[in-house]
Every structure is written in structure tokens, then in C-alpha cells.
């Protein structure tokens, strides 16, 4: 299609095939998008798109899209449906909700979603409006929010690496994070790529030798699940050789002496047998981190997939504080917070309901006073579906989560969902989770809806709009569905309109939503060293190396090491049968969790699920490249195809996550066959503050099929 064609309109929008942030141009001819391209004026991507962004048009026009509501006719999970009008679907849902309210109370309904998509904030808002304390997603305790909450407690705010360019980072430390592939939470992949051009030193901490690890000055190939030990040993090395910034530490941090006392025991030599990383390399990393400042810490969700999440995140978060390069060009910075507050409506949830939030009494950094966005403890929500303890959850409204593939222990998730009186799933496609629903609702994909996104999350330096370019079938954007349900149920604030809320959120830009959408992204000028005016937003006004807030919440104010509950060290008995350490879900460029396997171009990039094995390890089991391999854990077995790679530690096995086969006709679409969460576990022990379960660093064995 000719770009100059007069009948083609070009709308500015923002890609959200992932968490989002890449500016795009949508070329629209009549009622059809004919082309999607990166916007050269996009402040984060400068015209570039990743493979998923490039394939957005295939998503919009996929013949597999749900285009009208469906109501179940057969038994739950049988796959029998009939088409329904929106009116009938809404009425059916509202009737069931009212019946559950009458019998089980408002807490009988829970609301769920997945990772940070356009409607992320609207889910806890809807829960508050419904009078239920329970909402959450598979990432809340396992992804990003441990970092957000710990940063709030320790620094008073979330910090981001500064790539604006006044000065580029001298050292980049990638900790359990591979942003060139995953690009999460602030569209950082392209920015990292640009930062590399300035030639920073690199430190990479990963059990797999990624492309970044191959470029790194120091690569620490650790045992999955032992990041806490490694971070404590780096703190020990920095403090022991007195290489930290003494004047900054004295003026701007709280509790240094007690931290020094705590980490004295955690020497690099102590950490070596635990982490599998030589002490000399730990010291080299600590030395480089100090010497090559300003430093950018890029940390990912791998550090949040163990039951010692909070103390792991805490220990790592303290490394930048010791350098003094906080809120300086090329360092770890606080955002400019350019959007107005979102109306989560916690005030409409009665206090007696709030107290019933599942997990709030125990996991106070996830659900209670220590949390920026309080969430329920999802394993406890599933348990309440199965057992009625401490009360029944009978209705579950899911807006964008293929729960059967992304929560740990898929079998247990299915067992829980099968007990519900009402399961509603709003999605783009008929997923295995939709198949268990009573009502399935078709939703709009990102080029079909209006929204605002402030990037990076909780920093909001760049304010971007998405705007609706086309209508597909009868699809509606999630926020519109939620608003209509609220109106029919006569919930508080049900008259609030999507566009009024968007206008309020973007008000600090001086524009209305419509004006912002037409104008394109706004990037706020950066002000550095903001803390020099008002200190840090913590009780002591300083960076709390010793956390008074954690102490107040009843947790250890100083970081410590804890061996994962399932590991060769804590369970040598199990390790005799399951000798390898399993890690799951390192991101691949073509899929987003369980998404996009029905899109032909992306699927060509990964036709089948793959397990990564070191060649020596494979040889021991007679496994050759391309063989089907059975991977087993104490929970179950799955099959994936072998990729042999000398880049993975010989004692570590890596499985892709999110696998199902949309092309298969049978119910479940093969989701029991290769889905990594058949191997994981959502039973206790959990992180005492965050309720996190173990997704990485578990035990497994392999054999040729």
C-alpha cells in the first residue's frame, strides 16, 4: 500500500504486544489497518520494532480471533458453545454474580489478569468496585512487584537505569535479565542496545551464557536460585575492601554498620560452593561495579522466582546505593512521574472486606501495608476455590490470563477452576483456560483500543497513547466490558467513563487524551539528584540499608541467604533421582508467555517447545540434537525438543514456558504435553513477605523419549 495514498490515514499509537512502549504508526484505509510500522519519532524505539511488534497486523487479523461472546452449552471443559449477544452474556454473568453474592458474600468473586497489559490497573479497580478483596495475577508475587515494593521500602521509589545520554552508564550489570530479548517494563531493549554503543563494561549473572554474557568483562554463571548468596558476597567484598563511596553512604544511607555486620559472614569464599561461581570472579564483579561507575543495574524476574525473593531483591538493590551514583546521569535514577494518579478506588472497598484479602495477614509486602498495589496471594485464592478455606471463592473473572499455562502446577489450577460456579474469561483467542469458562468474551487487541501508558512503569518519564484504529467483529476493550458490568450491577463509580479517566490521568501533560493521541509521545525533561531537595521518601529520609519499614512489618530488616526449598543442597535425597537444576521461561523473541503460537510468522521462529541441555549432559543420556526429551520433576513430566548448547551450565536444564498447540483440535490443545508448569509447584513454603513460590532452581531429570 502506497504511504502517500490519500485514502490512507496514519494514526500514532503504541505497540503493546508486550508490556509496551514502542511508538508505532498505524496506516488505516477505510475500516482496515493496512500497515503497522515503528514511529521514527518514538522516543524509546526510534522507529524500531521487535519480531512481535512487526507481526502485529497478523494478530489483529488472525482468523483464530474470538469475535463474539460465547456461552457454554456442554459440561465444563467439554468445548461446546453457542454464540451469544453481548447483552445476553452480560446478563448471564450478572445473574451468576448476584447468586454468588447471596450465598457466599462479596468475597465469593475474585478478579484475575496476567502481566502488565493496557488494562492492568483496571483489574484491582474492578475488584474494589465489586466489593471483593481478591484480585491478582501470576506475576504479582513472582514478577516486578517484589522489586517495586522493595524499592519503595528501601529507596522510597522505584529506580531505573538512565539511558538519556547526557552521560551513558560506564558499567551495565544484567542480573537474571536478558532485555535484548525480553525488553520489559519500560521498553528498554532498544535503549540498552543504544547504550552498548558507548562501550560500557558488562557484568552478567545468568546460568546461561547469553549474547550479552559473551560480550561481558565478567560473566557469573551461577546455580539458579542462589542470587541471594551471590549478592550478599558482592556486598561483603565491596564493604571489606572499603571501595564504597564513604561520603555518600554516610550522608544518604541508614544502617550501614548493621549491614556491614550482617554481611561479614557472607564472603565470596563462602558463596563459591553455594553459587558455583569462583570467589575470584565474585570479587572481580564487585571491583568492576565500583570502578566503572556510573552503573546501571538491569535486573529481571529470574531473581523473583524463589521463596527468598524479598531478601534476594533487597540484597541486589543495595549494590547501587554503595556507589553513590543514585539519580545521576548514566546511573540508577528516579522517574519524573508525568501522569496523574489512577483511580484504583481502594476507598470503596469496606474495611471488613479488605481484611478478608487472602494472604494479607501473612504476606504483608504482597498484600498489606508494604505493597504499592496490594494483591491477593493467588495460591491461597486457588485453595479457597478447592476447599472453601477460609471461605469459598465461587466466581472468577479473568481479563487476559491463560491461567492453565502460567501459574505453577497446571493440574492444581485446573482442579481449582473446575470447582467454580462462574468462570468468565475475556481473551483474544480460545485458550485452554477459556475452554473451562461459562462465558467467553472477545476483547480488542492493542490497535483497537484507547489507553495511556507511562513508561517506564512507576517512573513515567514518557507518556504515550494508544488509539483505536479499527473495530474487529464485536470485540470490546477490557475497560469497556468492566464498565458495562459495573453499570449493570450498579456498583460504586459505575458512571465513570473511560475517556474521562484517561483525561484525568494525562492532565499533567496539559493535554486531553485526544490531544495527546494526536500529538504523540511526550518526554519530560529530566531533573537529577532530586533527593538533595527533600531526601528519600522513606521513614528516615535516607536509603534504608537497614529497612525500618520491613522491621515494622515484622520481617528481617537486613538481607540474608536462604537455600531454595527444592535444590541439590536442601533435598539431596530428591537430587539422587532428579539430579539437574531446572530453570524455566527464559524469554524467546517470538512469543509472549502462552501467546502467539497461532500466528504463522512468529510460529515459524519456534515451531516446537525446546529444552536447552549442555552437550556433555545430553551425551550422558544418549540425547542428540532435535530428539524429543522427557523432562520430569517430582510433580510430573513433559516433552520438549533438545537443543544442545555449550552456553548452558552442564548441571542446569532450561525449558521454555507457556506451551500449548492452538492448531490441535482436542480440548486442552495439547497443553498437558509440553507446558513447563506441569513441573512446577505452588504449594508452600512461600516467601514470608511476598508469598512467592519457586519457579526456577527446581530439581529435574531428563531422558530421551
State how far the Cα of 46 lies from the Cα of 53, in Å rounded to an integer.
14
295 binds ligand SF4 (CB under 6 A): no
Give Dmax over CA atoms of the chain in angstroms.
Answer: 71
| Binder among 439, 522, 586, 702 for ligand MGD (CB under 6 A) | 586
| Binder among 158, 254, 513, 591 for ligand MGD (CB under 6 A) | 591
Tell me the β-bridge partners of 296.
172
Which range, of 109-117, 154-162, 359-367, 660-668, touches ligand MGD by CB under 6 A? 109-117
State how far the Cα of 79 lies from the Cα of 198, in Å rounded to an integer.
55
State how far the Cα of 37 lies from the Cα of 29, in Å rounded to an integer.
15
| Binder among 11, 12, 13, 22 for ligand SF4 (CB under 6 A) | 22
| Binder among 170, 189, 370, 568 for ligand SF4 (CB under 6 A) | 189
Min separation Cβ 188 and Mo ion, Å: 14
The phi and psi torsions of 581 (rounded to 5 degrees) equal: -95, 125
49 binds ligand SF4 (CB under 6 A): yes
- Please tell me the count of residues contacting ligand MGD according to CB under 6 A: 63
**Pair 451, 95: CB distance under 8 Å:** no
Residues 158-177 that bind ligand MGD (CB under 6 A): 175-177
| Binder among 363, 592, 659, 660 for ligand MGD (CB under 6 A) | 592
| Binder among 14, 24, 62, 115 for ligand MGD (CB under 6 A) | 115
**Pair 428, 420: CB distance under 8 Å:** no
State how far the Cα of 180 lies from the Cα of 658, in Å rounded to an integer.
20
431 binds, among ligand SF4, Mo ion, ligand MGD, none (CB under 5 to 8 A by kind): ligand MGD
| Binder among 182, 309, 376, 674 for ligand MGD (CB under 6 A) | 182
**Pair 197, 54: CB distance under 8 Å:** no
49 binds, among ligand MGD, ligand SF4, Mo ion, none (CB under 5 to 8 A by kind): ligand SF4
Torsion of CA 37, 41, 46, 50, to 10 degrees: -30
50 binds ligand SF4 (CB under 6 A): yes
Which of these, 327, 472, 381, lies nearest to 127 by C-alpha position?
A: 381
476 binds, among ligand MGD, ligand SF4, Mo ion, none (CB under 5 to 8 A by kind): none
Which range, of 243-251, 346-354, 509-517, 690-698, touches ligand MGD by CB under 6 A? 690-698
428 binds ligand MGD (CB under 6 A): yes
Tally of CB atoms within 10 A around 58: 16
- Which pairs from 377-381 meet CB under 8 Å and 24+ separation? 377/136, 377/141, 377/686, 377/691, 378/112, 378/136, 378/137, 378/138, 378/140, 378/141, 378/407, 378/682, 379/408, 379/682, 379/683, 379/686, 379/691, 379/693, 380/691, 381/110, 381/134, 381/136
583 binds ligand MGD (CB under 6 A): yes
| Binder among 12, 20, 134, 475 for ligand SF4 (CB under 6 A) | 20
Q: How far is CA 336 from the centre of its chain?
A: 22
Residues near 388 by Cβ (< 8 Å), separated by ≥ 6?
A: none
| Binder among 23, 317, 483, 680 for ligand MGD (CB under 6 A) | 680
| Binder among 677, 682, 692, 694 for ligand MGD (CB under 6 A) | 677
- What string marks each residue from 376 to 415 as x (binds ligand MGD by CB under 6 A) or -? -----------------------xxxx--xx---------
183 binds ligand SF4 (CB under 6 A): yes
Residue-by-residue DSSP string for 160-208:
EE--SSSS--SEEEEES--HHHH--TTT-HHHHHHHHTT--EEEEE-SB
Residues near 352 by Cβ (< 8 Å), separated by ≥ 6?
A: none
296 binds ligand MGD (CB under 6 A): no
Q: Which residues bind ligand SF4 (CB under 6 A)?
A: 15, 17-18, 20-22, 45, 49-50, 52-53, 183, 187, 189
Give the footprint of ligand MGD on this chain (CB under 6 A): 18, 114-115, 117-118, 138-139, 142-143, 175-179, 181-184, 205-208, 210, 222, 224-225, 227, 300-303, 399-402, 405-406, 426-429, 431, 443, 478, 583-587, 589, 591-595, 657-658, 676-677, 680, 695-697
Amino acid at each position: 500500500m502506497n504511504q502517500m495514498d490519500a485514502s490512507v490515514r496514519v494514526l500514532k499509537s503504541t505497540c503493546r504486544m508486550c508490556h509496551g512502549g514502542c511508538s508505532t504508526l498505524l496506516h488505516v484505509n477505510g475500516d482496515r489497518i493496512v500497515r503497522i510500522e515503528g514511529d521514527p519519532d518514538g522516543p524509546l524505539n526510534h522507529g524500531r520494532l521487535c519480531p512481535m511488534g512487526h507481526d502485529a497486523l497478523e494478530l489483529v487479523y488472525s482468523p483464530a480471533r474470538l469475535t463474539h461472546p460465547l456461552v457454554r452449552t456442554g459440561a465444563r471443559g467439554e468445548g461446546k458453545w453457542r454464540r451469544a449477544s453481548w447483552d445476553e452474556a452480560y446478563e448471564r454473568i450478572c445473574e451468576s454474580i448476584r447468586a454468588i453474592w447471596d450465598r457466599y458474600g462479596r468475597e465469593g468473586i475474585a478478579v484475575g489478569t496476567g502481566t502488565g497489559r493496557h488494562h492492568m490497573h483496571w483489574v484491582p479497580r474492578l475488584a474494589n468496585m465489586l466489593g471483593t478483596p481478591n484480585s491478582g495475577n501470576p506475576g504479582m508475587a513472582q514478577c516486578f512487584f517484589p522489586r517495586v515494593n522493595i524499592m519503595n521500602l528501601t529507596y522510597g521509589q522505584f529506580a531505573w537505569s538512565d539511558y538519556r545520554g547526557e552521560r551513558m552508564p560506564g558499567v551495565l550489570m544484567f542480573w537474571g535479565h536478558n532485555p535484548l530479548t525480553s525488553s520489559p517494563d519500560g521498553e528498554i531493549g532498544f535503549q540498552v542496545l543504544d547504550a552498548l554503543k558507548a562501550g560500557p563494561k558488562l557484568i552478567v549473572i545468568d546460568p546461561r551464557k547469553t549474547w550479552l554474557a559473551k560480550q561481558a568483562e565478567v560473566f557469573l554463571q551461577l546455580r539458579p536460585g542462589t542470587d541471594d548468596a551471590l549478592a550478599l558476597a558482592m556486598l561483603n567484598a565491596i564493604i571489606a575492601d572499603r571501595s564504597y563511596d564513604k561520603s555518600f553512604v554516610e550522608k544518604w544511607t541508614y544502617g550501614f554498620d548493621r549491614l556491614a555486620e550482617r554481611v561479614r559472614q557472607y564472603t565470596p569464599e563462602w558463596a563459591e560452593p553455594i553459587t558455583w561461581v569462583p570467589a575470584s570472579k565474585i570479587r572481580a564483579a564487585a571491583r568492576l561495579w565500583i570502578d566503572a561507575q556510573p552503573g546501571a543495574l538491569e535486573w529481571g524476574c529470574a531473581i523473583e522466582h524463589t521463596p527468598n525473593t524479598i531478601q534476594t531483591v533487597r540484597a541486589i538493590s543495595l549494590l547501587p546505593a554503595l556507589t553513590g551514583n543514585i539519580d545521576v546521569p548514566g546511573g540508577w535514577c528516579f522517574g519524573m512521574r508525568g501522569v496523574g494518579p489512577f483511580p484504583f478506588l481502594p476507598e470503596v472497598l469496606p474495611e471488613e472486606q479488605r481484611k478478608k484479602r487472602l494472604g494479607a495477614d501473612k504476606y504483608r509486602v504482597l498484600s498489606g501495608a508494604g505493597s504499592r498495589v496490594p494483591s491477593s496471594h493467588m495460591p491461597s485464592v486457588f485453595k479457597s476455590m478447592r476447599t472453601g478455606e477460609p471461605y469459598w471463592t465461587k466466581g472468577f473473572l479473568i481479563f487476559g490470563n491463560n491461567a492453565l499455562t502460567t501459574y505453577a502446577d497446571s493440574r492444581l489450577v485446573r482442579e481449582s477452576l473446575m470447582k467454580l460456579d462462574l468462570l468468565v474469561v475475556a481473551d483474544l483467542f480460545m485458550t485452554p483456560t477459556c475452554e473451562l469458562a461459562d462465558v467467553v468474551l472477545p476483547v480488542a487487541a492493542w490497535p483497537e483500543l484507547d489507553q495511556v501508558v507511562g513508561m517506564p512503569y512507576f517512573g513515567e518519564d514518557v507518556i504515550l497513547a494508544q488509539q483505536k484504529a479499527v473495530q474487529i467483529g464485536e470485540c470490546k476493550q477490557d475497560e469497556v466490558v468492566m464498565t458495562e458490568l459495573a453499570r449493570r450491577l450498579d456498583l460504586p463509580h459505575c458512571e465513570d467513563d473511560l475517556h474521562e479517566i484517561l483525561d484525568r490521568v494525562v492532565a499533567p501533560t496539559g493535554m486531553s487524551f485526544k490531544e495527546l493521541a494526536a500529538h504523540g509521545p511526550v518526554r519530560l525533561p529530566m531533573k537529577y539528584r532530586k533527593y538533595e531537595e527533600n531526601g528519600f521518601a522513606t521513614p528516615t529520609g535516607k536509603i534504608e540499608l537497614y529497612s525500618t519499614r520491613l522491621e515494622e512489618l515484622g520481617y528481617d530488616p537486613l538481607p540474608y541467604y536462604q537455600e531454595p526449598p527444592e535444590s541439590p543442597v536442601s533435598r539431596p535425597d530428591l537430587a539422587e533421582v532428579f539430579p539437574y537444576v531446572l530453570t524455566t521461561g527464559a524469554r524467546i523473541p517470538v512469543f509472549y508467555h502462552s501467546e502467539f503460537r497461532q500466528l504463522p510468522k512468529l510460529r515459524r521462529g519456534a515451531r516446537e517447545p525446546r529444552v536447552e541441555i549442555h552437550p556433555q549432559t545430553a551425551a550422558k543420556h544418549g540425547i542428540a540434537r532435535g530428539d524429543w526429551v522427557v523432562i520430569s520433576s517430582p510433580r510430573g513430566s513433559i516433552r520438549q525438543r533438545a537443543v544442545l548448547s555449550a552456553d548452558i551450565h552442564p548441571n542446569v536444564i532450561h525449558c521454555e514456558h507457556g506451551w500449548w498447540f492452538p492448531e490441535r483440535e482436542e480440548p486442552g490443545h495439547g497443553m498437558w504435553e509440553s507446558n513447563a508448569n506441569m513441573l512446577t509447584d505452588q504449594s508452600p513454603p512461600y516467601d514470608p513477605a511476598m508469598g512467592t513460590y519457586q519457579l526456577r532452581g527446581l530439581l529435574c531429570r531428563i531422558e530421551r523419549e
